[in-house]
């Protein structure tokens, strides 16, 4: 008789956690027992399926959830690492045991999962169909949009990750990322100084990505 109430009270045991730079929240193959809500800092989501461990498929910013897409599987397919000292709330996956009994929530949840696929496809087209400077522009717009969504400053902000992480995410080298930042600055679209960015001409940045008349193929490679 005491059991049912306990099971309702227990699942919402939320832990606050802190992750030092370089620490993994969880690794590929881990049995995923928690969802995370990032409170501060920055997390990289690394795709482990592709041999090399530096294959960054996304950054998670404060206010965003982590681990949702792995919830359908018993084990995680990604590794998540703190780019800098980060704080997160962990909530146990058991909160989702209620799911089958709340169809409308389930629909919301499915939409959330589907969103992660849509985002991945957007990343495909950003990387595959655009040159270096456009990728960097797209990256900045992406960050800006997400900051705006959570009500933070979206025109001037700090890049928590380093150039190598940005480069790995965009399929470039850090030197190229640096040069693109410099070039966008020179063109007056942004102002950049190390990790601080200011977006000066939002619309012009956006236009770099929408160009219809572009050859539409971007990449090259070395090895």
Partner DNA sequence: CGGTTCCTTGACACAGGTCAATGATTGTGG
Partner DNA sequence: CCACAATCATTGACCTGTGTCAAGGAACCG
| The entry of its own copies, DNA, none that residue 209 binds, CB within 5 to 8 Å by partner kind | its own copies
- Tell whether residue 212 is a contact of DNA (CB under 7 A): no
**Among 1, 9, 193, 221, which residue sits at the site for its own copies (rule: CB under 8 A)?**
221
Stretch that binds DNA, among 35-43, 54-62, 189-197, 203-211 (CB under 7 A): 189-197
- Tell whether residue 159 is a contact of DNA (CB under 7 A): yes
DSSP 21-47: TT-EEE-TT-B--EEEEEEES-EEEEE
- Tell whether residue 193 is a contact of DNA (CB under 7 A): yes
DSSP annotation of 222: -
| Identity of the residue, 17 or 204, whose beta carbon is nearer to its own copies in the bound complex | 204
DSSP 92-150: EGGGGGGGGG-HHHHHHHHHHHHHHHHHHHHHHHHHHSS-HHHHHHHHHHHHHHHHHHT
Tell me if 159 sits within 8 A of 197, measured CB to CB.
yes
Tell me if 158 sits within 8 A of 196, measured CB to CB.
yes
- Tell whether residue 145 is a contact of its own copies (CB under 8 A): no
- Tell whether residue 98 is a contact of its own copies (CB under 8 A): no
Q: Which residues bind its own copies (CB under 8 A)?
A: 47, 49-52, 54-55, 57, 69, 72-73, 77, 99-101, 103, 106-107, 109-111, 113-114, 116-118, 120-132, 167-168, 170-173, 209-212, 214-223
């Amino acid at each position: 008789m005491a059991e049912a109430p306990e099971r309702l009270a227990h699942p919402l045991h939320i832990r606050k956690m802190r992750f030092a730079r370089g620490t993994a929240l969880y690794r590929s193959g881990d049995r995923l027992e928690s969802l995370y809500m990032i409170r501060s800092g920055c997390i990289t989501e690394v795709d482990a399926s592709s041999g090399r461990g530096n294959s960054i498929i996304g950054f998670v910013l404060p206010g965003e959830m982590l681990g949702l897409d792995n919830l359908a599987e018993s084990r995680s397919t990604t590794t998540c690492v703190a780019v800098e000292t980060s704080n997160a709330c962990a909530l146990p996956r058991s909160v989702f045991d209620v799911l089958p009994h709340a169809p409308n929530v389930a629909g919301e949840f499915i939409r959330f999962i589907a969103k992660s696929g849509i985002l991945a496809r957007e990343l495909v087209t950003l990387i595959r169909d655009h040159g270096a400077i456009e990728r960097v522009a797209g990256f900045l717009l992406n960050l800006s949009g997400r900051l705006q969504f959570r009500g933070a400053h979206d025109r001037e902000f700090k890049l928590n990750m380093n150039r190598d992480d940005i480069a790995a995410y965009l399929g470039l080298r850090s030197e190229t990322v640096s040069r693109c930042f410099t070039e966008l600055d020179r063109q007056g679209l942004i102002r950049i100084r190390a990790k601080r960015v200011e977006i000066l001409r939002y619309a012009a940045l956006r236009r770099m990505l929408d160009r219809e008349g572009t050859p539409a193929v971007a990449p090259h490679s070395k090895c």
